[in-house]
């Protein structure tokens, strides 16, 4: 099962992708997590990606596409994966389609989680992320058991730099301009599934399980 998650920043892609990965035993591949881990480890890629991420801009396709194409060719992705945060531009989607086509494969589902812009700023300002294991929480909608401590690994939770309100608006503009066209792209490919992302996390996950049946 090859799945991609679409939706604005903060729509709940990562939250649902982690649940899908665990339910169907497939890897969760998040380009945002890969970039953040490179930043944490001080790699060249991390240094370059940070310049764009801090401004709410997309990391250039030239630094992103090969990384994902290599990752999905790894052994653990043989039976499928859930891609979270990729593709984010039409050229990325085309690169993915081509790479898959070369292996006689295709995306099975593009799950689009729809959340109006008005709700996004609240979502993002309440998001808390674990820099240790990548888990995400929301102070109100999905709180950790102990304040600011990751349930999964015990590390401290932080507000991501790019979740500050001034950067969120820029990320939303970039989403509408560069990523939203992917909804038509995957509709034309016949794999788009749209869900109402303003519902409870578990309700949305129930709907995802139904459509993946």
Residue 90 Cα distances to 162, 163, 201, 211, angstroms: 23, 24, 28, 25
**Using rule CB under 6 A, residue 109 touches ligand AMP:** no
- Strands 2-6 and 109-114, bridge-based pairing: parallel
The tokens for 114 are 């729809």
First CA to last CA distance, the chain: 11
Residues in contact with ligand AMP, shown as a per-residue x/- string from 156 to 195 under the rule CB under 6 A:
------x--------x------------------------
**Using rule CB under 6 A, residue 208 touches ligand AMP:** no
The tokens for 111 are 């799950």
Give the Cα separation of 12 and 200 in Å (integer).
10
**Using rule CB under 6 A, residue 64 touches ligand AMP:** yes
Among ligand ADP, ligand AMP, none, residue 86 binds (CB under 5-8 Å by kind): ligand AMP
Alpha helix locations (H) across the chain? 13-24, 31-40, 44-53, 61-72, 90-101, 117-126, 165-174, 181-188, 201-212
| Residue with smaller CB distance to ligand AMP, 86 or 205 | 86
| Residue with smaller CB distance to ligand ADP, 107 or 172 | 172
Question: In the chain, how many H helices and how many E strands?
Answer: 9, 8
Give the Cα separation of 148 and 126 in Å (integer).
11
**Using rule CB under 6 A, residue 52 touches ligand ADP:** no
Residue 36 falls in the annotated catalytic set = no
**Using rule CB under 6 A, residue 134 touches ligand AMP:** no
* Binder of ligand AMP out of 88, 123, 127, 138 (CB under 6 A): 88
Residues that bind ligand ADP (CB under 6 A): 7, 9-15, 123, 126-127, 136-138, 141-142, 197, 199-201, 204
Residues that bind ligand AMP (CB under 6 A): 9, 31-32, 35, 52-53, 57-59, 64, 85-86, 88, 92, 162, 171
Q: Which residues are catalytic?
A: 13, 88, 127, 160, 171
């Amino acid at each position: 099962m090859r799945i991609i998650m679409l939706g604005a920043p903060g729509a709940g892609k990562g939250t649902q992708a982690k649940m899908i990965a665990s339910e169907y035993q497939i890897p969760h591949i998040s380009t945002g997590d890969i970039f953040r881990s490179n930043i944490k480890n001080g790699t060249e890629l991390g240094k370059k990606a940070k310049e764009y991420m801090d401004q709410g801009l997309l990391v250039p396709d030239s630094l992103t596409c090969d990384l994902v194409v290599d990752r999905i060719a790894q052994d653990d992705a043989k039976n499928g994966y859930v891609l979270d945060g990729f593709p984010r531009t039409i050229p990325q989607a085309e690169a993915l389609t081509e790479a898959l086509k070369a292996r006689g494969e295709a995306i099975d589902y593009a799950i689009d989680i729809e959340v109006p812009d008005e709700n996004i700023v609240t979502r993002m300002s309440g998001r808390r992320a674990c820099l240790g294991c990548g888990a995400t929480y929301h102070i109100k909608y999905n709180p950790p058991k102990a304040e600011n401590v990751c349930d999964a690994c015990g590390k401290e939770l932080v507000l991501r730099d790019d979740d500050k309100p001034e950067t969120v608006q820029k990320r939303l503009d970039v989403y509408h301009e560069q990523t939203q066209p992917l909804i038509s792209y995957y509709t034309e490919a016949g794999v788009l599934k749209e869900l109402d992302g303003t519902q409870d996390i578990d309700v949305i996950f129930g709907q995802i399980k139904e459509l993946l049946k």
